[in-house]
Chains A and B, each alone.
Chain A
């Protein structure tokens, strides 16, 4: 009976620990069930090493056809749920087929792993890195254990970082010129700028600056585009007169932003836009959208 009962339970407990787990930075990550958990943070070219510990339950033995640990980089489209596309897959065989009677620890190491993409959790797509331990068994299915990782990659300071400057308007009604100091911002950056009012013939209620994220997934006819407004920041209250210039100062830190991702593995793209919105007294909206590039700067270098 015991035996039978045991068939419905995992025969063993698998745990994965990282060798630098105590010192490694952990970041919160939203899990599928909506809860956030702290997950170790890695960067590309990091060496991922640690131990896999397999501990059979009391009085049990685990018969297996081999133990392996894999490092997977996966892209998952939500409309194609369950179908992962692995862009990275590294395997370490930990054990030859045999039986495990007692707790057994396997060290593993993936030295200087190339992890070109960042972890991303979008509306329609997610990109994740995961360590997968498989205890292969002929019957009763294999025993699996996953450990999520978060990967963030720092980008160098861009060589060219022009300001965004543009004059827009509606003829005989509204002419403005706006200027943002850069076209590329790091995630803790601050957007500075100015809006010049060259002609104002409408009564304005306010002016907002929005940060919008456009996530496009798929390719060709199957492209899905999802746009979210991540920040809505009021820049101005009331109607300015001609010649007035309104300062822009938007700190990016409080918002949940990611770097811009362009054509990740031909699967998806994430782009950011600054949307300048003017609202008149009849609640009509006038807006102009400009793409900005977001990148992740190494923390200590950002200041």
Chain B
């Protein structure tokens, strides 16, 4: 409805403008000055309207503006025809209404300046002063905008031919400044026009007009002769005075931004304290972070774009000034949301990283300031702040691409303290990923300690609470990162490496039951790798008290793995024990190895109850034990005996059978002469065969169900016999093998066993070995000639 009226009024006004412009044009064509003035004044009277919204008023203004161009040319011609320009200047002031009078005055004024009859200064001063007469915000704003527009290319400056005297450019400056000040006042005042319920709409409209005011600053920046000195002593203080004094949020915000964007970087740098000094004086509602971040971003770009500029930054102590200013702002605006203050620090940090990339202390200082700020607000909870702080903490990382550098920042962990759990974890992930991405080499235990301290969001649960909602897959992924990190830690110095391992352990064991099974294995293997190296590098150069002895490391591992058994991961613990035992074996530490075995056995007995798991575990035990060379006879017997015993006590007969025949290996180490107890090998095999028999019987008893098992057991046994036969075990006789073969043969006849391929390939193997000419293998196989094979 209102919009409709708006349209209508605009249309009417435009029609009137058109009509008067037409008459004006006609008067101009016939060189009728009096009529030209009359109709131009009538045309300009349309701008006196109060009915239009700023938007529509602008439209109307543009129409009139175009027409005034013709008038200006006419005035110029008129002066060429001998009409004194001074007379014209007076003549237009006879107009009774102020607004047309001043528009005309500005128009003729611009011609006057061009004519050089008077100094531009006088005219400019007069115009800007006379324009005070329009106090209506909207109309005044447009009038002054017109003034700025028509004088823009006529401002005297150094070297311009319009220069009257030495001070001319200063006067021009004064002119623009004054016009700016007045325009801003009018603009600010605009918010109070009309009823308060339409305030919001008005502010929106007002915002649309802001460029009219801002254009003045642009003109100032383009003004020749404005050097740093003038800018510092005159321009900036004057602008800031106006900005601060207008006490208007919209204006302050926009104008600060304008200042920052319009003037050269170098000026900002050299006047940083002045500019920053104004910030805390702004209205509390001003979005100061946008302003300051704009500034810092600009300075950052400046620093990035030119190397020569960098010394200037140092010279003016840009950093400390900015840091101080931000502190002040934060202090002044008590209710600044955390997100905003963090953003401020983020930009400061970015700036610092750009400009002072070698000054870690500065970076640390920023972090420190941020900590101070955060300590006032407490933990960050809202998403926005969290996002900002992640960006904040990531910034140095992106800059240096090196976690180690970050670790030198003492305040970094303090900032991390203020993150909530999710954010902290996210940040930890970023940190760790950076290690991989940049292939960072972490060289000392202290660094490792610091890194793990930082990444503790990944390492353990916060405050002891366990989040049930964690996505399992994500969790695995996170812990995978930790594992990768542990694996990545590697340095040549074994002493330091062992320290690293100790450090890592310290952090990892606190991880809780969910993490430990995932994080301990890499630690263990990393340690084992070190042990291998220690053993490889001949003797221990550190003496006994050094930490990097295999024994001590194994000791540590023992404790570590024990933790694992507490958290119901016995299978894993068992495997790791066995690995450790093997390492101990390689280091010829018998007692240690024995200890590990003991632990493994205990675990087997007490924790592993699932029969399938038992089978697997037992296999591992047997396999490992077989390779142990460090034990004396007694210890070995004990362990072997125990293992055999376990084998016999497995639940399922086939499992028993297999375990027992595998135990046979425990008595026969190929490369070790004193470990070739052929008798006990055969004993084991025999025992296995008995169990197989039992299986067979059970199978016969319940024919049709699980009938095939035993035959393949027999074949497996046969293969074992063949193995030991080949190895030269004298106790393996042809008879034993033959009888077993007979048995297999008869059993296969009885029932379709499904083991035929296995049997056939075994037979083919025997045949093949018999054919061998050299190596004495054929001799060994002579013993087991049997007609079944024919």
Contact = CB atoms under 8 A, between A and B. Distances in A.
Contacts of B97: 234
Given A249-B93, A251-B90, A239 B98 contact: no
A206 B101 CA distance: 14
A234 B132 CA distance: 13
Contact of A238 (B93, B94, B130, B134): B134
Contact of A236 (B90, B93, B129, B134): B134
Contacts of B132: 244-247
Interface in B253-292: none
B189 interface: yes
Nearest to A248: B133
A240 interface: yes
Given A238-B140, A241-B189, A246 B96 contact: no
Consensus secondary structure, chain B interface? helix
A206 B96 CA distance: 12
Nearest to B189: A241
A159 interface: no
A254 B94 contact: yes
A144 B237 CA distance: 81
Contact of A251 (B94, B133, B134): B94
A198 to B, nearest CB: 15
A237 interface: yes
A236 B48 CA distance: 12
A233 interface: yes
Contacts of A247: 129-130, 132-133
A24 interface: no
Interface in B59-97: 90, 93-94, 96-97
Interface in A213-254: 231-241, 244-247, 249, 251, 253-254
Interface string B113-157: 000000000000000011011111101100000000000000000
B98 A234 contact: yes
B681 interface: no
A238 B136 CA distance: 4
Contacts of A206: 98
Contacts of B185: 241
A246 B185 CA distance: 15
Contacts of A233: 96
A240 B98 contact: no
B94 A237 contact: no
A204 B98 CA distance: 15
B663 interface: no
Contacts of B101: 234
B190 to A, nearest CB: 11
Nearest to B105: A249
A235 B189 contact: no
A237 B133 contact: yes
A234 B45 CA distance: 12
B133 A239 contact: no
Given A232-B96, A251-B90, A254-B94, A237 B130 contact: no
A237 B96 contact: no
A206 B134 CA distance: 9
Interface in B454-482: none
Contacts of A249: 93, 130
B98 A236 contact: yes
Nearest to A249: B93
Nearest to B94: A254
A249 B102 CA distance: 12
Given A247-B129, A247-B130, A234 B96 contact: yes
B446 to A, nearest CB: 66
Interface string A244-274: 1111010101100000000000000000000
B52 to A, nearest CB: 15
Contact of B135 (A231, A238, A253): A238
A96 to B, nearest CB: 55
Interface in A46-75: none
A239 B136 contact: yes
B99 interface: yes
B135 A251 contact: no
B94 A235 contact: no
A251 B93 contact: yes
A237 B48 contact: yes
B573 to A, nearest CB: 83
Contacts of B129: 247
Contacts of B140: 237-238
Nearest to B140: A238
Contacts of B139: 237-238
A274 to B, nearest CB: 15
Contacts of A235: 98, 133
A153 to B, nearest CB: 26
A232 B98 CA distance: 11
Nearest to B90: A251
B126 to A, nearest CB: 9
Interface in B1-56: 48
B135 A246 contact: yes
Contacts of B135: 204, 236-241, 244, 246
A211 to B, nearest CB: 12
Nearest to B134: A237
Contact of A246 (B93, B94, B133, B136): B133
Contacts of B94: 251, 253-254
A52 B185 CA distance: 71
Contacts of A254: 94
Nearest to A206: B98
A69 to B, nearest CB: 42
A52 to B, nearest CB: 41
B183 to A, nearest CB: 14
A235 B129 CA distance: 13
A207 B98 CA distance: 10
B206 to A, nearest CB: 16
Nearest to B137: A238
The winner among A237, A246, A249 for most chain B CB atoms within 10 A is A237
Interface in B517-570: none
B649 to A, nearest CB: 102
A232 to B, nearest CB: 6
Nearest to B136: A238
A29 B159 CA distance: 55
Interface in A106-148: none
B50 to A, nearest CB: 9
A240 B131 CA distance: 12
A235 B136 CA distance: 12
Nearest to B101: A234
A245 B182 CA distance: 12
A252 to B, nearest CB: 10
Please indicate which of the listed interface residues B48, B101, B133, B140 has the most CB atoms of chain A within 10 Å of its own CB: B133
A257 to B, nearest CB: 14
Contacts of B134: 236-238
A206 B136 CA distance: 9
A197 to B, nearest CB: 9
A276 to B, nearest CB: 14
A237 B93 contact: no
B487 to A, nearest CB: 73
A253 B101 CA distance: 16
A240 B133 CA distance: 9
State the 10 A-B residue pairs at the shortest beta-carbon distance, nearest first: A238-B136, A238-B135, A234-B98, A240-B135, A254-B94, A237-B134, A234-B97, A237-B136, A237-B98, A236-B133
6 contacts: A236-B98, A237-B98, A237-B99, A237-B133, A237-B135, A253-B94
Given A204-B135, A237-B99, A246-B135, 14 more contacts: A232-B96, A236-B98, A237-B48, A237-B135, A237-B136, A238-B135, A238-B139, A241-B135, A244-B135, A245-B132, A246-B132, A251-B93, A251-B94, A254-B94
Interface of B: 48, 90, 93-94, 96-99, 101, 129-130, 132-137, 139-140, 185, 189
